[in-house]
Amino acid sequence: MIKNVTVIGSGTMGNGIAHTFAQHGFEVSLVDINADALAKAVQTIINNLDRQLKKGNIDEQGKTDTLARIKTYTDLQQGAANANLVIEAATENRETKLKLFKQLSEICADEVILASNTSSISITEIAAVTQNPGNVIGMHFMNPVPVMKLVEVIRGYSTTNEVTQTIMQLAKTLEKDPVEVNDYPGFVANRILMPMINEAIYTLFEGVAGVQEIDTVMKLGMAHPMGPLQLADFIGLDVCLAILKVLHDGFGNPKYAPCPLLVNMVTAGHRGVKTGSGFYKYT
Ligand code: CAA
């Protein structure tokens, strides 16, 4: 029985995951090493609950109850002490994740499920640093988490059937539609999405069309809710670059090589919405 969920990392994905679990009755411990980031995450959750309240999707009591179920911690040991399930949503960095899972495996009891919200890093590799690789799985939510229906459930090489079924069922409890996939670079979502975004950036880089024009073609022509360049800003250009590198290294195929313009933008600190500028400006 999963009742207590610990979410590690309070960035865009972490706060959305905490919001969604709390809204569906789970007790949530949100952990981040940075106390300011935790305060910002709680404010984001309040803003998003207010948005749902305004739309009439929840009432005042629903908002109060959801917030009351979220506790914040800067200490991993304290935050993970009562967890039945841990979902890691820290920075998309291999070393950070491996270190965290090693620590979690020492802190948590054997039966605790350790999930990662990674968008591309190998679940099998993450599981290999833990004491119970059968209990490690990918639970990949989409942004904005409270809105998007998909959860990509990634089976590592050692993930047990029982753990996979528990997570598939849990996603349904959150009113999501889970899809089970195997553990290969980029899984399914980003193996298909990132080459499209990279191609849109190459199209801009080569001067075929401007930012607005590229996005308009994909929005109006393919009925995408956002154009690929706006979506890249929304995901984070650093995250897009990190995922493309995983695909490029994992398959050794030049078709996944990140566009030099993307590399330059990330190097220059233009990482999209979170830094106020990417392909568009944000105030
Ligand atoms: N929290 C709660 N509710 C939110 C929200 C949030 N953060 N953001 C939006 N909403 C709600 C709104 O209240 C609204 O609710 P109703 O339908 O009940 O009215 C609904 O979502 C739509 O919002 P808006 O009307 O404000 O805006 P929109 O129609 O432009 O939709 C969007 C916004 C849902 C983000 C839409 O633009 C969209 O679907 N964009 C593409 C998102 C996408 O592709 N996500 C995947 C990214 S890839 C990823 O996450 C994984 C990875 O590994 C990189």
Q: How far apart are CA 219 and CA 216, in angstroms?
A: 5
Identify the burial level of 251 via C-beta atoms within 10 angstroms of its C-beta, where 0-12 means exposed, 13-18 middle and 19 or more buried.
middle
For residues 117 and 170, the answer to whether their CB atoms sit within 8 Å is no
Can you give the pLDDT at residue 172?
98
Can you give the pLDDT at residue 179?
98
User: Kind and range of the H or E element at 112?
Assistant: none
Q: From edge to edge, which strands make up the β-sheet containing 113-116?
A: 70-73, 27-31, 4-8, 85-88, 113-116, 136-141, 150-155, 177-182
Name the 3-class secondary structure at 129: coil
CA 145–ligand 1 middle distance (angstroms):
8
For residues 282 and 276, the answer to whether their CB atoms sit within 8 Å is yes
User: If you take atom 43 of ligand 1, which residue's CA is the nearest one?
Assistant: 143
For residues 217 and 199, the answer to whether their CB atoms sit within 8 Å is no
Can you give the pLDDT at residue 145?
97
Q: Ligand 1 pocket check: which of 51, 120, 140 to mutate, most ligand atoms within 8 Å of Cβ?
A: 51
Q: Is 119 in the active site? A: yes
Architecture of the domain spanning 4-182? 3-Layer(aba) Sandwich (3.40)
Can you give the pLDDT at residue 131?
96
List average pLDDT for each run of 10 residues in the chain, which is 283 residues long: 97 96 98 97 98 95 98 98 97 94 96 96 97 98 97 98 98 98 97 98 98 98 98 96 96 97 98 96 94
Q: Which two tokens stand for residue 2?
A: 């999963």
User: Kind and range of the H or E element at 24?
Assistant: none
The CATH H-level (homologous superfamily) assignment of domain 190-275 is N-(1-d-carboxylethyl)-l-norvaline Dehydrogenase; domain 2 (1.10.1040.10)
Per-residue DSSP letter, 226: S
Q: Measured between alpha carbons, how far is residue 237 from residues 27, 146, 156, 169 in Å?
A: 32, 22, 27, 32
Can you give the pLDDT at residue 242?
94
Kindly name the residue from 15, 116, 140, 198 that is annotated as catalytic: 140
User: Kind and range of the H or E element at 43?
Assistant: helix 35-54
Q: How far apart are CA 201 and CA 172, in angstroms?
A: 35
Kindly name the residue from 190, 248, 270, 277 that is annotated as catalytic: 190
Can you give the pLDDT at residue 216?
98
Q: What is the domain partition of the chain in residue ranges? A: 4-182, 190-275
Q: What lines the ligand 1 site, CB under 6 Å?
A: 48, 51-52, 55, 57, 119, 142-144, 146-148, 189-190, 225-226, 231, 235
For residues 230 and 280, the answer to whether their CB atoms sit within 8 Å is yes
Q: Which phi-psi region, left, alpha or beta, contains residue 276 (left: φ > 0; alpha: ψ -120 to 50)?
A: left
Can you give the pLDDT at residue 283?
87
Can you give the pLDDT at residue 226?
98
DSSP characters over 232-249: HHHH-HHHHHHHHHHHHH
Q: What are phi and psi of 208, to 5 degrees?
A: -70, -40
Can you give the pLDDT at residue 72?
98
Kindly name the residue from 4, 122, 152, 270 that is annotated as catalytic: 152
Q: What angle do CA 107, 134, 110 make, to 5 degrees?
A: 30
* Cα-Cα-Cα-Cα dihedral sign, residues 107, 246, 191, 206: positive
Can you give the pLDDT at residue 32?
98
